[in-house]
Structure 1
Amino acid sequence: MRDAIRGEVLGTAPVPLSVLDLVTVGSGRTASQALATSVELSRLAESRGFHRHWVAEHHSMPGVASSSPAVILAHLAAHTSRIRLGSGGVMLPNHAPLVIAEQFGTLEALAPGRVDLGLGRAPGTDGATAAALRRTATLHEGADDFPEQLAELTRFLDDAFPDGHPYARIHAVPGPVQGPKGRPPIWLLGSSGFSARLAGLLGLPFAFAHHFSARNTVPALDLYRESFRPSSVLDAPYALIAVSTLAADDPKEAHRQVLTGALSMVQLRSGRPGLVPTPEEAEAYDFRPAEREFVDGWLADIVYGTADEVRGGLDDLQKRTGADELMITAHAHSGELRVRSYELIADAYGLPRL
C-alpha cells in the first residue's frame, strides 16, 4: 500500500504531480460535455505521467457536476488503464460507511490496485442540502462523529469487525471476504487542523485543500507531521496539497479564465450558485468593493500564467510547504483550456509521453 501512496517522480518535477477534477460546467455547456472533458483529461493525465486523478464530491452546485464521485470514477476507470483514480474526496458524514465500502470495493474490483479513497468531514454543500442527504437537520453530528465513522468504514473495508459486534456478520461486497485482495488506501482530506491531526495520529496520508484555504496550509501540514505516528500504511508522513493552477499559451487568457472561477465563488458565497460564467461575463461584472477584495485574495492564491510562470510558482509553493505531492485543479470556463493547461504543465516539467 505504501507504493500506492508514494508516487513516482517523472521528468524534472520535484514531486509527483496529480489532478483534482471538479467536473466544472461552463455557461452554455452541459454536464455531459463536462464529463466528456473529464474523460479526455484523465486520458491525457495518464499518457503524460500524472500520478492520480481525483474527483471531488459537491452537491446542489449547477457548475460542478461531481455529485457522485463513485459513478464518475467507474466511468474514468473504463477509459484508462494505469493512472490512479480516487475521491478528493467523499464527504463521509453524508453517507453510511457500509455504502462507501461497497462502492469503493466495487471500484477496486473494476480497477484493481488503482483506487484511492479520500475522505472529508465537511458536507460539500449548503446546510439544507446536507440535511436532505443525511436525513437529519443536525449537521454537527456527522462532523463530530467522523472518527467513529472512519473506524467503522475501515472495518467494513477490511472485513474486520470482532466477534460479538452487531456488524460482525455483515460483509461489504465486493471486498476481502471474497479473497486475498487489497483494498483502496484511505486518505484524510482537510482545510484545517482537525483532519491533519487525525491523519497523523492514525498514520494515514493527508491531503490539504490549499486551493481554498491557503492561509492554513503550513500550520496544518506542521500539525500533521508533528502528530504523525508510523502505521502499517506509512512509516513517515506523506502530504499532498491541492493547488488552483492554470497555464495558457497567452498569459492574458489565463487571467481571463481564472477570473471566471473567482466570479463563480462570489456567486456561491452570496447564495447564487450557477454555471461557470464566460470570460466576457466575468469581465463585464460590476464587482462591489467587498467582492473585489475577495476576488483579489482569491486570485493571489492561484498559480496562473504561462507554463514557465506556473512551473516557477508551483516549485516555490512546494519548497515553502514541503509537500510530497502537488495536486493541480484548473478553474476555467473552457474545458478545452483546462485540458490544455495540464498539457502545458506536463511540457514545462518534461513529463514523458507514456
Structure 2
Amino acid sequence: MYTAEYTGINSFLVGASTLLIKEGVKRKTRGKLCIELPKPFMFKITNPTARLVTVPERRWNPILPFAESLWLATGKNDLEFIGHYLKNMKNFSDDGEFLRGGYGPRLRKYNGINDDYKIRNTYDIDIAKLNKSEVDQFGFICKSFEKDKFTRQAIINIGDPPKDCFDKKGNLKITKDFPCTRLLHFQKQPKANKLNLTVYMRSNDFVWGASAVNIFNFTFMLEYFSQILDLEIGEYYHIANNFHYYEEFEDLVQSISRTKTVEESKFEYSKSFHNLSEFDEKINLLKSEEEKLRSGKYADLIDFKDDFFNDWYKAFYVFNTYKKVTFSNPILNQLFLKYMPYE
C-alpha cells in the first residue's frame, strides 16, 4: 500500500501526480489506456479546510464541487440540475435523465429496493406500498453520535447491492454508472474534540474524481458535520483501492507534478446552524434560490445569515448572473475572477 500525508488539496495534487508518474503501470480498460497504481493508495489531509485548488496547471473549475455538494446534500441525482453546471455528466447516464449511481439519494433516501434511484424533487417509488423503509443516512450519523460520542458505527454506505449488482432477471447489472465511493466513516478523535472522516473508494480517477470534486465534496461534508455534531474539524483520510488517470491527461499530470511552490488556502467558516434540522432548513433555501438563479427568476443577492451558506450560494449566483460578488473566503474571489467572464 502507498501512504502519504498532505496539508491540503494542493500538496495532494503535486504529491499524487508525482507518485502516479513514478509508480503507475499501464493497462487497457474499456478501450482506453489507463495509468494506475499497482497497490491501494491511502492518504491523510491534515487540514481539510484547504480544499480549494490554486495550482494553476490544474485549471480547476470552482463551480463544479459546489454544485455537486448541493446535489449530494439534497439527496438528488437528476441531470436537470447537475447538467446545468457539468454538461458532460450526461455521458455517464443510462437514461439521459438521472445518474443512477449518484450519491445523493444513497445519502438521504437509501432504501435497498431493486429499482434504480430516480430523484428530482419528489420520490418516484411509493415506499409504503412496497412495505420497505427509507433511511436518511445523515440522520443516522447524528443519532449515532447522540447515543455515543465515541461511536464506531457512524458509517454511510454508498453501495446498494439490490440496485448495483444484478438486474431483475438476475444478470449482472449493465450500467454506465457504478458508484466509485463505497463508504464514509465519521469518528471522533479519542483525545480531542475533533471529528475525522475516512472515505473508502473502490476506484478513483485522479483528474475528474479526486482533484475535481471528491476531496472537496467530502471535506466540505466533514466541515458541516463537525458543526452539526458540535465538534471541531479533524483530519480527512482517503483510501483508493485503485487510483489512476487516463492517457489523455498525461500532459496535465506531468505538468502538475512539476509544480515547485505549493500554497494551501486554509479557511474555516463561521456558521449559524447547530443541528441537522437547521442545516436542512438552509439547504432547502439554498436549493430554492439556486433554482431561481438557474431559471433567471432571481431578485437581489440574498443573505443566509451564515458565511458558509453565503459563499455556497454566491458560487451559484456568480455562475448564473455573471455578476461579481465578494466571498467570505478570499481565495474564492481569485478563483472566480479567473473563471468567470464578469459583466
TM-score, with normalisation over the residues of structure 1?
A: 0.35
TM-score, with normalisation over the residues of structure 2?
A: 0.35
Answer 1 or 2: which has greater helix percent: 1
